Homo-oligomer: A and B are copies of this chain.
Amino acid sequence: MTWRREKMGQILYGADYYPEQWPEEVWLEDMKLMKEAGVNIVRLGIFAWASIQPEEHRFEFGWLDRIMDLLAENGIAVHLATATASPPAWLTHRYPETMNVDVNGHPYRHGSRQHYSPASKVFRQYCAELVRKIAERYKNHPALFMWHINNEHGGHLQKDYTPDAITGFREWLQRRYGTLDELNDQWGTAFWSQKYSDWEEIGPPSTTPIAFCNPGQELDFSRYMNDCLLELYLNEYRILREVTPDVPILASFMMEFKWLNYYEWAKHMDVVGLDTYPDPRLGIPVSQAMDFDMLRSMKDSQPYLLMEQVTTQVNWRRNNAQKKPGQMRLWSYQSIARGGDGILFFQWRQSKAGAEKFHGALVPHSGDVNSRVYREVRQLGEELQRLEAVVGSRIKARTAILFDYENWWAVEMAGKPSADIRYREQVMKYYTALHELNVAVDIVQPHSDLSGYDLVLAPTLYMIDAATADRLERFVESGGTLLTTFWSGMVDRNDRIHLGGYPAPLRKLLGIHVEEFDPFTPEQTSSLQMVDPDCSGDYSCSLWADIIRLEGAKALGVFTADYYEGYPAVTENAYGKGSALYVGMFPEQKLADKLIRHLAERLDLLPDILVPSGVETSVREDNGKSFQFVLNHLEHPVVIDLKGRSCVDLITGSSFAERIELESYDVAILKWK
């Protein structure tokens, strides 16, 4: 099944829509404004359970029928939610076992959202009943375009400690390990006398004051919770697929939360979508760029959706800055530039009441269509209608970053030599270097096929299995270039050490032995000198130093301080037809930039069109057509040298040859002639 987007043939533009919060007379005004603003899709019903099923045995579909019809009449597609994101008070009151319980055993209370137990059999049953009712009712409705299941899984509810969850965990463990002997071995329960002699003895992970919990138990509970929430999703997915086999199904992702392995989830979705709220105070939203690249990579470069963002400001930071004029438009275009085909917002009309009334919207509290923000909304809506040609085009990358959710969990568990290693920060260091150079990059999985890539970066790959180590070895052997960094190759999938000298499974490939390591305080730094002629110079590093013994590799850089002065800090090992680099400390950005530029030049990965720092560029391609996106994140205009190629800007329709000048915060989408 293909995503219906292509039926529509245009960039999707829209928002969450909560008509249940407004009297019906406002709905007509909404229709008028939506069309005026270029809105072609709304997401409906996310928090409508209590409105659809106000009491256990009473369903009220009338209001939803009316708004569905109205949207259909106005040509606005509906991304219809299953309404299970926030169960109604009658459900949690009458069936208290459906309520989540926190790590201390305190049951949640009604009055916020996502207060359910995802493991609850009773909860899943009520979800299933509701979803079937909704699916049957609207399966043939002309407005129905896509299904949205629940909402932001794992965003406001990440763990479950109900009896149902604990039982579920035990069953999950039985399926995973078969026998208690195997579990005891994999968890290393010989340590601290933790051995289990009965499945019933096993519970969720636990600490005691000044002592850590079993890492295997902690990792598996995280895996179980991911699977438990995924099962909650699939509980609805199966019904929707059965009733409406042709309607695309998805749920939304939030990349700042680490507890769901979205790569696994994406397999069960027809399209993927992201909720993204970068702080407007950021210069360039590099982190959002990485999120888009990751999202795109989850479905093999198939276009994705920006599912939620805000026009102005959110209300959940300590201080919620306003987006400056032009910033919303610029950052919206980043989603298209990196491979998306739709831009949606939370939400259409700013709420009058409730916990998110100060969260921005397309229509502000004033209702003022002449306000600065609404004018920008309308402008963007108009522009997007000119981008039909872009729809469906794709990004192609020869560089990959290897990213592993379970490694993320493992790296940041307690009891490590350093509690300050943040996996995303490690990855971002190198992603930032690639972004600065506008090198296209996919963000792939440990078990992904790497054969299409020239360069693979795998920062801090602490947890690695033999198969992945082997895959990396074959990648380099056959000519690839690999860069990995300190705190890689340490443990297996159950956090058990790979014995035999760090980083044991990569030791041969990298040609080094990490004999010791020295973690730093946050205030501490060390220094190194790059001896490689291509990126020579003195640099500082923070967080960590490896004490490396060369076993075939050569030193590209050496430490110039501390007791390991003169020891290798960066190494490279020729292996087969390729090469494997190792960075044995956390470099300042300047050095990461230099290393990546060095490799990008060597492997000819730099883009044709060169842009100044602060300008983002990318290329989407489709059947020989190629669209060059240029985004000026700077506070001043820039001139881009087009190297004599002629093009037309899809947004303005203007043609350019020699060069193009872009205002501060402006965007161009160049179609080469």
Contacts and interface: CB of A to CB of B under 8 A. Distances in A.
Interface in A307-328: 312-313, 315-316, 318-322, 324-325
A495 B519 CA distance: 44
Interface stretch (A288-296, A352-360, A390-398, A647-655): A352-360
A424 interface: no
Interface stretch (A106-114, A443-451, A591-599, A610-618): A106-114
Given A157-B208, A198-B93, A502-B366, A88 B193 contact: yes
Contacts of A371: 515-516
Interface stretch (A43-51, A132-140, A399-407, A623-631): A43-51
Contact of A521 (B158, B319, B495): B319
5 contacts: A21-B188, A86-B193, A89-B196, A89-B202, A104-B104
Contacts of A497: 350-353, 357, 365
Contact of A501 (B196, B366, B502): B366
Nearest to A115: B208
Interface stretch (A214-222, A263-271, A531-539, A575-583): A214-222
A242 interface: no
A325 B567 CA distance: 14
A318 B197 contact: no
Contacts of A156: 208-211
A219 to B, nearest CB: 11
B201 A89 contact: yes
Interface stretch (A33-41, A377-385, A414-422, A475-483): A414-422
Interface residues of A, number: 119
Given A157-B209, A210-B316, 13 more contacts: A83-B193, A89-B201, A111-B205, A111-B214, A113-B211, A115-B206, A157-B208, A215-B355, A318-B420, A319-B522, A365-B499, A367-B500, A372-B515
A515 B366 contact: yes
A257 B140 CA distance: 58
Contacts of A588: none
Contacts of A315: 415-417
A518 interface: yes
